[in-house]
Structure 1
Amino acid sequence: MTARVAVLGLGAMGLPMATALAGTFDVVGFDVAPERVALAVEAGATGATSVADACRGTDVAVVGVRDGAQLDALVLGEGGVADSLPAGAVVVVTSTVGEAAVRAVADALAARGIRCVDAPVSGGPVRAGTGDLLIMVGADDEALAAARPVLDALSSSLTVVGGIGAGQQLKTVNQLLCGIHTAAASEALALAHRLGLDLDACIEVLSQGAAASFMFADRGPRIAAQLRGETPPLRSRLDVIGKDMGIVGDLARQLKVATPVAAAAEQLYRTVAAAGLDASDDSVVATMLAKEPTW
């Protein structure tokens, strides 16, 4: 029998994940934005009008939210996942929300006989749509076995690192590097822009040498578009990378680990957000860096 999978949250990552899963599973999608549900239906999913509707008779619920507050509301709020999923089902948390948030949700779900897998993903929307994600998993053996077919369909690289919370821990380390690399790519191309260099040529050359990184290759074209005064597609919101770097900073302070470069990157994102650009693609950082001083 084909498993029924609910994808709850059809944002930048949730929609392509629903698309990737729709070819293999009976997928139902829900989002607070009806237009996102319509896109999921176009991709082969069934649309739901509420969380309860999506969870009815569901075996696996894949959750994609922006932060811990949204996770708590979606899963533990009235009429949410915990109220709606049948006992024995499993919730897969794919978002970067921090260890404490996923542990609290997992404990609440366990009290209702619902299992949980801590499975933050990395790779971006394009790779999500082709089942090519890196997934860092924290779960017990029983929960992992129940979710494994779905996780395998979404990933090309899946690593089990421990129990609930361990996936979030490793993803926090991952995001430390992603946040720094994105800030560095913005600085490098802002400098190239002010020098009058051809940005497309810079991206092509730098992507082949020691300066190459996934984040540079992924963000570079959008950064170049921003610096040329164009509006690139919105794929990675500034407030999301800022939130992730906040999780990095909180964990580093808790453990008393010095992370001065990550702290500088976090402050850069906060500075750009304070200019009212929270909802912009995070490539917008370069435009702030490249501005000529007024003094």
Structure 2
Amino acid sequence: MTSPSAPTLGVIGLGSMGMGAALSALRNGVPTWGCDPRAEARAAFEQAGGRAVASAAELAPHCDVVLVLVVNAAQTEDVLFGAQGIAPLLKKGAVVVTSATVDPALPPQWEARLAEHGVFLIDGPVSGGAKKAAAGQMTVMASGKPEAFAAAGELLNAFAGKVYRLGDAAGVGSTVKMVNQHLAGVHIATACEAMALGIKAGADPRQLYEVICNSAGMSWMFENRVPHILDGDYTPLSAVNIFVKDLGIVLDAARALKFPLPLAATAHQLYLSTAAMGLGGEDDSAVVKYYAQLAGLELPTAKEAA
């Protein structure tokens, strides 16, 4: 049992990643608060033994470290500095870990604004998906002042499998995450294109998947996403619209650096095309449907998978 003075974690955003992180912390004996506007998410977290609230402002004064796992930069800024923002409500010396994929130029700005309130920032985007989050095995790409890491102590390890300390400046973590999203977005688009090619040419999709997973062409994204295509299940674990956003961040940053990214630009157009078909809310593997419509393919269905 934890003592009343044990360091407390707050998780803002109990989605697939945030819920996994919060539950992992609970399993590791960390007193944990969760915040989400959805009543069903709060109920699920309370059933697991956590304390759940609908308002981030209610959570803030109780937590030593607050993990902000929302969708984008705009939501992050609202959580921190909006009308009900937590910045003035946090304890002096508390640590905020911002984990959305954002423009690397933003975390240094947030760090400076939080410092005005005596609060530290760790620029800590995450990777691993819902499955690794639930297992407490997320990767955190973290950067920030040494004092921030000292104040966070072991709480980062309560919800993550690997915490990489990438430098003493906020923004480095987001730079590394940006590179990860470049690769992830291109790999998913390529996996969809390759599967569509194989189906068009007459290969059995399940045999094709098995062979590629045991051959040099395999990637983690191919192995992870193609089963969604084989099962005809496009329930969004990570939606097409996420990569519309994330590859947009990658391309904007590259444009500022005057650095060409032809592969990322092409992949971005594929996600945009899929979203324009009305599929932006589906799983990112739905890019294969763009190719199916283009080439008149019949994709596997959920009925066939059953």
TM-score of the two chains, using structure 2 as the length reference: 0.90
Q: What is the SS of the residue equivalent to 1:13?
A: helix
Q: Distance in 1 between matches of 2:141 and 2:91?
A: 26
More displaced stretch, 181-190 vs 100-109: 100-109
Matched, 1:106 2:111: yes
Match of 2:146 in 1: 141
Q: Distance in 1 between matches of 2:182 and 2:145?
A: 26
Deviation of 1:153 (Å): 2.3
Match of residue 64, structure 1, among 42, 65, 69: 69
Q: What is the SS of the residue equivalent to 1:176?
A: helix
Match of 1:246 in 2: 248
Matched, 1:25 2:30: yes
Q: Which residue identity is paired with 2:16?
A: A
Question: Which consecutive aligned stretches of 4+ in structure 1 deviate over 6 angstroms post-superposition?
Answer: none
List per-residue Cα deviations over 1:178-197 (Å, max 9, x = no partner): 11001001101112222332
Distance of aligned partners of 1:26 and 1:177 in 2 relative to their CA distance in 1, 3 Å threshold: same
Q: Which residue identity is paired with 2:165?
A: V
Match of 2:8 in 1: 4
Match of residue 269, structure 1, among 265, 268, 271: 271
Q: Distance in 2 between matches of 1:144 and 1:223?
A: 41
Residues 161 and 167 in structure 1, CA contact (< 8 A), matched pair in contact too: yes
Residues 193 and 290 in structure 1, CA contact (< 8 A), matched pair in contact too: no
Q: Distance in 2 between matches of 1:147 and 1:7?
A: 14
Match of 1:150 in 2: 155
Match of 1:288 in 2: 290
Match of 2:227 in 1: 221
Match of residue 179, structure 1, among 180, 185, 199: 185
Match of residue 136, structure 2, among 127, 131, 147: 131
Deviation of 1:148 (Å): 4.0
Deviation of 1:210 (Å): 0.8
Deviation of 1:293 (Å): 4.5
Q: What is the SS of the residue equivalent to 1:99?
A: coil
Q: Distance in 2 between matches of 1:85 and 1:54?
A: 9
More displaced stretch, 155-164 vs 60-69: 155-164
Q: What is the SS of the residue equivalent to 1:80?
A: coil
Residues 76 and 105 in structure 1, CA contact (< 8 A), matched pair in contact too: no
Deviation of 1:154 (Å): 2.5
More displaced stretch, 260-269 vs 130-139: 130-139
Which runs of 5 or more residues in structure 2 are unaligned?
A: 297-306
Match of residue 231, structure 1, among 230, 233, 251: 233
Match of 1:210 in 2: 216
Residues 10 and 36 in structure 1, CA contact (< 8 A), matched pair in contact too: yes
Q: Distance in 2 between matches of 1:44 and 1:264?
A: 45
Residues 21 and 153 in structure 1, CA contact (< 8 A), matched pair in contact too: yes
Q: What is the SS of the residue equivalent to 1:179?
A: helix
List per-residue Cα deviations over 1:79-120 (Å, max 9, x = no partner): 222132122110011221121222222211111001110011
Deviation of 1:217 (Å): 1.1
More displaced stretch, 68-77 vs 285-294: 285-294
TM-score of the two chains, using structure 1 as the length reference: 0.93
Residues 30 and 158 in structure 2, CA contact (< 8 A), matched pair in contact too: no
Match of residue 119, structure 1, among 114, 121, 124: 124
> Percent of aligned pairs with the same residue?
37
Which runs of 5 or more residues in structure 1 are unaligned?
A: none
